[in-house]
């Protein structure tokens, strides 16, 4: 199933992320209270390395969007995005409200995220990212690791 993913810095300390898989779509925001992009890249890299379940967090002011990536087999994942009214890493996933739930190929999701980060770097560069995202530098090492894990067949 096709994956559409965008990640855009919308102003000092704020980002917007849109994800569409089939008929399921969601638009999220994140503040620089957390390093949202780094968290998401870590989660995807973990799944591609063989972890069964990974999490990523997008902090809100207040609240949190929590991504839960679950390996269904060695080629497919389930992506859930949960919403919490308060920002708390201690809350069980079950206490969040599901706002997105879809299955897709792990490489398709990874490829879509990689393409979005590459596009952003082409448009604003590392310095532009740093100026807008504050104390959190662009996660270039994780981007490079994702690219390496996807190899020549990125997004397939």
The CATH number of the domain where 22 resides is what?
A: 3.30.2450
pLDDT digits (tens, 9 = 90+) for 20-44: 999 999 999 999 988 999 999 999 9
> Can you spell out the DSSP letters for 124-147?
HHHHHHHHHHTTS---HHHHHHHH
Structural domain for 91, as ranges? 3-150
For 129, residues 6+ apart whose C-beta sits below 8 A from its C-beta are: 9, 120, 121, 137, 138
The gap between the terminal CA atoms of the chain, to the nearest Å, is 10
Q: Is residue 69 part of a domain?
A: yes
Laid out side by side, the sheet with 3-11 consists of: 3-11, 14-21, 24-31
User: How many angstroms separate the CA atoms of 136 and 57, rounded?
Assistant: 14
* Residue 11 burial (CB count, 10 A): 8
In a domain, 101, yes or no: yes
pLDDT digits (tens, 9 = 90+) for 57-114: 999 988 999 999 999 999 999 999 999 988 776 788 888 899 999 999 999 999 999 9
Whether 39 is in a domain gets the answer yes
| pLDDT above 60 for 147 | yes
Q: Give the separation between CA 35 and CA 53, rounded to whole angstroms.
A: 20
The verdict on residue 145 lying in a domain is: yes
Q: Is the pLDDT of residue 116 over 50?
A: yes
Domain count, the chain: 1
Report which of residues 4 and 87 the model is more confident about: 4
Decide: helix, strand or coil at residue 120. helix
Residue 99 resides in a domain? yes
pTM for the full model? Answer: 0.93
Tell me, yes or no, whether 111 lies in a domain: yes
Q: Is residue 155 a part of any domain in this protein?
A: no
């Amino acid at each position: 199933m096709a994956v559409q993913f965008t990640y855009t810095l919308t102003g000092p300390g704020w980002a917007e992320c849109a994800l569409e898989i089939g008929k399921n779509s969601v638009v999220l925001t994140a503040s620089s209270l957390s390093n949202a992009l780094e968290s998401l890249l870590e989660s995807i890299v973990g799944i591609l390395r063989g972890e069964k379940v990974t999490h990523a967090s997008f902090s809100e002011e207040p609240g949190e969007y929590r991504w839960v990536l679950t390996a269904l087999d060695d080629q497919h994942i389930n992506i859930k995005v949960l919403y919490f009214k308060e920002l708390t890493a201690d809350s069980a996933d079950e206490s969040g409200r599901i706002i997105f739930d879809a299955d897709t190929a792990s490489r398709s999701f990874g490829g879509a995220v990689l393409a979005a980060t590459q596009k952003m770097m082409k448009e604003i560069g590392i310095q532009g990212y740093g100026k807008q995202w504050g104390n959190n530098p662009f996660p270039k090492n994780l981007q490079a690791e994702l690219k390496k894990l996807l190899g020549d067949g990125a997004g397939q």
